[in-house]
A and B are shown apart, each in its own frame.
Chain A
Amino acid sequence: MRIVATNATVRFGDRIALAGVDCAVRSGEMVALIGPNGAGKTTLMRVLADLQPLQAGEARYDGRPARELGRGELARRVAFLAQGGAAHWPLRVDHLVGLGRLPHRRAFLGLSAADHAAIEAALAAADVAHLRARTLGALSGGERARVLLARALAVEAEMLLADEPVAALDPLHQLRAMELLRSVARSGAGVVAVLHDLTLAVRFCDRLIVLAGGRVVADGPPSVLTDAVVAAVYGVEALRGEYRGEPFIVPWTATEPSPAARPGNAGA
């Protein structure tokens, strides 16, 4: 599948969240969506998942608008993992992961063998199989994030749109989750992940889409994240290097003056 957003424009009141964004993502590719807070990353993810009404522009799925595909087909082909997701009831882990099979359900029937297999695979992949009989409330924040990732994996969609899938995870599980997402992409599905860790983005992703102020600033292989881009977008200077042949990039010093020092805020 190929999702193409053209001139995607979203305003919340008089704040412009996306100012005519053009971007395309496709199956088999691992894309990091990066940018500072408020850049429009979550809004763009919601546009790609057909959750966000647009003031202008459109999103197309293999050249067709979402309405033409229908909700059911779109739900089977595009999985969405919300940022900082939670469950409103203390559901059991395996039941929660099973919700990812809802787009595949058949009326009046329970879970099929394929559903059970998908749930098992997702539980194992996200390293939460041992938690299956626990309820969500009894888990730590990181465990909960992995369970919700397993829920999105259980859809077995062609595209996985994950909004900050590793934000709550410890270093080990961050690496595991990135490896998992990359293996999902290698197996043929497309992955778009919102990330804040630049090293994870340049190390694990095939392509970066850098967003700032509701516009795409850079789009291409990890090499597009130059010092100039990092400084302009994040207002930081980064330490760069290579370890065992793979790049790392660590934010080191703020180049932008702190808010208190800004002339406009001096009197505030």
Chain B
Amino acid sequence: MSGALARAPAPYWPLAAALAGLALVATCASLVVGYVHLDLLAALNDIAHGRPSLPALVLVQLRLPRAVLGCAVGFSLGLTGAAMQGLLRNPLADPGVVGVSGGAALGAVVVFYSGLAGAFALALPLGGVAGAIVAALTLFGLAGRGAGTMTLILAGVTINSFAGALTALALNLSPNPYAAFEIMFWLMGSLTDRSLPQVWLALPLMLAGWALLLSAAPALDALSLGEDTASSLGFDLARLRLTLVAGSALAVGSAVAVTGAIGFVGLVVPHVLRPLVGHRPGRLLLVSGFGGAIVLLCADIGVRLLPIHPELKLGVVTALIGAPFLFSLIDRLRREA
């Protein structure tokens, strides 16, 4: 092989491993950082010996769910954002572009509104997951099995705005201001006070979604040459769309169901990492997942370190950082055009 070909495989696995390592470090940091000082070793020691001490409880009941969800939700957002941008061949697509995040938010709001949220612990995330599934099924009802990508986007936009309208309707008709506040704060997105049962509910769904999305890597690579060429390379585009919508419904739907809507992570992270993988959409998937996890964990550590009370909502922080970044991205795209 020539010297030039030796350069050809970009340092992909080292990059992925480095990002995975950073995500792990951020997860551990998220365990350590909090409002009360936690002696991690003592807590681990107590857990190992089955002693239900306060440090052990703080670690297992509060810190662990928050750190694990931060990592998993960030991974879901980054991965799904990269997959949607690959499918739509547009760097401005976000994970919720096909309507699943709007559906999940609406599902959770319906649970709030109906008063079911207090009935049992997992009512809220279950409502969110149900909303995401309904959104995905509606999408295929609207768009049909053989629909093109443009139809899919338009149907997704329609579902998102309709879900948004119904959410606003729920706020409008809210019986008391307190309920409306509760819904609004939940919609801002946060990792605070999440429980282990929520992790057990969301994590398997996310893992299934990740598997579906990652399996689409070769097809997304082929799709960079257009739909006809991708088909001629042996990929079934109808099946690809089905896989990606189902994967994003599982990954992002369950993420939104437990944390509320957290914007910009899935939009910005793939864009930052794309040049590092030579713009290859298939290789962008995994690294974007890890990148998303790092960003979300850092943001969540940030809101706990900031001396601002009440604690800033995670979705607010990601939007505050993400929006100016998006603006610079648009500006750069304009100058390149």
Point out residues on A near B: beta carbons under 8 Å.
46, 49, 51, 71-72, 74-76, 78-80, 82, 85-92, 94-96, 99-100, 102-103, 105, 110, 116, 120, 132-133, 135, 148, 151, 155
Q: Is the Cβ of A79 less than 8 Å from the Cβ of B232? A: yes
Q: Is the Cβ of B4 less than 8 Å from the Cβ of A133? A: yes
Distance in angstroms between the alpha carbons of A94 and B151 in the assembled complex: 33
Q: Which of A49, A71, A88, A148 has the most CB of B within 10 A?
A: A88
Q: With A49-B232, A102-B218, A103-B234 as given contacts, are A89 and B4 in contact (CB-CB < 8 Å)?
A: no
A-B contact pairs, 21 of them (CB 8 A): A49-B232, A51-B232, A72-B234, A75-B232, A75-B233, A86-B226, A89-B89, A89-B279, A89-B280, A91-B278, A91-B279, A94-B4, A95-B280, A96-B224, A96-B225, A99-B221, A100-B233, A102-B221, A102-B233, A132-B5, A132-B8
How close is A130's CB to chain B, nearest CB, in angstroms?
9
B231 part of interface (Cβ distance < 8 Å): yes
Chain B residues with CB below 8 A from A86, complex form:
225-226
Chain A residues with CB below 8 A from B228, complex form:
46, 49, 51, 80, 82
Q: Is the Cβ of B226 less than 8 Å from the Cβ of A74? A: no
Residue of B nearest to A91 (CB): B279
Contact of B5 among A89, A94, A99 (CB under 8 A): A94
Residue of B nearest to A119 (CB): B5
Q: Is the Cβ of A88 less than 8 Å from the Cβ of B226? A: yes
Q: Contact mask B206-234 → A, CB, 8 Å, 1/0? A: 00000000000010011111101101111
B74 part of interface (Cβ distance < 8 Å): no
Q: Is the Cβ of A51 less than 8 Å from the Cβ of B5? A: no
Chain A residues with CB below 8 A from B236, complex form:
71
- Given A71-B235, A78-B232, 10 additional A-B pairs, CB 8 A: A46-B228, A51-B231, A75-B233, A82-B228, A82-B232, A86-B225, A102-B235, A116-B1, A120-B2, A132-B5
Chain B residues with CB below 8 A from A85, complex form:
225-226, 229
Q: Is the Cβ of B232 less than 8 Å from the Cβ of A89? A: no
Classify chain B's interface size: 20 to 34
Cβ < 8 Å to A, chain B residues 249-294: 274, 278-281
Residue of A nearest to B2 (CB): A120
Q: With A88-B89, A89-B279, A91-B280 as given contacts, are A99 and B232 in contact (CB-CB < 8 Å)?
A: no
Cβ < 8 Å to A, chain B residues 293-310: none
Chain B residues with CB below 8 A from A110, complex form:
9
Distance in angstroms between the alpha carbons of A85 and B221 in the assembled complex: 15
Chain A residues with CB below 8 A from B4, complex form:
94, 132-133
B37 part of interface (Cβ distance < 8 Å): no
Q: Is the Cβ of A120 less than 8 Å from the Cβ of B5? A: yes
Q: Is the Cβ of B229 less than 8 Å from the Cβ of A80? A: yes
B334 part of interface (Cβ distance < 8 Å): no
How close is B212's CB to chain A, nearest CB, in angstroms?
15
Residue of A nearest to B88 (CB): A88
How close is B236's CB to chain A, nearest CB, in angstroms?
6
Contact of A95 among B2, B218, B274, B278 (CB under 8 A): B278
Point out residues on B near A: beta carbons under 8 Å.
1-2, 4-5, 7-9, 89, 218, 221-226, 228-229, 231-236, 274, 278-281
Q: Which of B218, B226, B233, B280 has the most CB of A within 10 A?
A: B233
The 3 closest A-B pairs by CB, nearest first: A75-B234, A80-B232, A88-B89
How close is B12's CB to chain A, nearest CB, in angstroms?
10
Q: Is the Cβ of B7 less than 8 Å from the Cβ of A74? A: no
Chain B residues with CB below 8 A from A80, complex form:
228-229, 232
Q: Is the Cβ of B5 less than 8 Å from the Cβ of A116? A: yes
Chain A residues with CB below 8 A from B9, complex form:
110
Distance in angstroms between the alpha carbons of A79 and B1 in the assembled complex: 25
Distance in angstroms between the alpha carbons of A100 and B232 in the assembled complex: 10
Q: Which of A82, A99, A135 has the most CB of B within 10 A?
A: A99
How close is A98's CB to chain B, nearest CB, in angstroms?
8
Contact of B222 among A46, A51, A82, A102 (CB under 8 A): A102
Chain B residues with CB below 8 A from A155, complex form:
233
Chain B residues with CB below 8 A from A89, complex form:
89, 224, 274, 279-281
Q: Is the Cβ of A94 less than 8 Å from the Cβ of B225? A: no
Distance in angstroms between the alpha carbons of A103 and B235 in the assembled complex: 9
Q: Is the Cβ of B224 less than 8 Å from the Cβ of A94? A: no
Residue of B nearest to A148 (CB): B225
Q: Is the Cβ of B279 less than 8 Å from the Cβ of A105? A: no
Distance in angstroms between the alpha carbons of A78 and B232 in the assembled complex: 8
Distance in angstroms between the alpha carbons of A2 and B9 in the assembled complex: 37
Q: Is the Cβ of B233 less than 8 Å from the Cβ of A99? A: yes
Distance in angstroms between the alpha carbons of A4 and B103 in the assembled complex: 48
Contact of A87 among B2, B225, B235 (CB under 8 A): B225
Distance in angstroms between the alpha carbons of A61 and B79 in the assembled complex: 39
Q: Is the Cβ of A87 less than 8 Å from the Cβ of B224? A: yes
Chain B residues with CB below 8 A from A132, complex form:
4-5, 8
Residue of A nearest to B89 (CB): A88
Distance in angstroms between the alpha carbons of A78 and B233 in the assembled complex: 9
Q: Is the Cβ of B225 less than 8 Å from the Cβ of A74? A: no
Chain B residues with CB below 8 A from A74, complex form:
234
Residue of B nearest to A46 (CB): B228
Residue of B nearest to A81 (CB): B229
Distance in angstroms between the alpha carbons of A90 and B279 in the assembled complex: 6
Q: Is the Cβ of B8 less than 8 Å from the Cβ of A94? A: yes
Chain A residues with CB below 8 A from B226, complex form:
82, 85-86, 88
Residue of A nearest to B336 (CB): A137
Distance in angstroms between the alpha carbons of A100 and B229 in the assembled complex: 10
Q: Which of B9, B226, B228, B236 has the most CB of A within 10 A?
A: B228
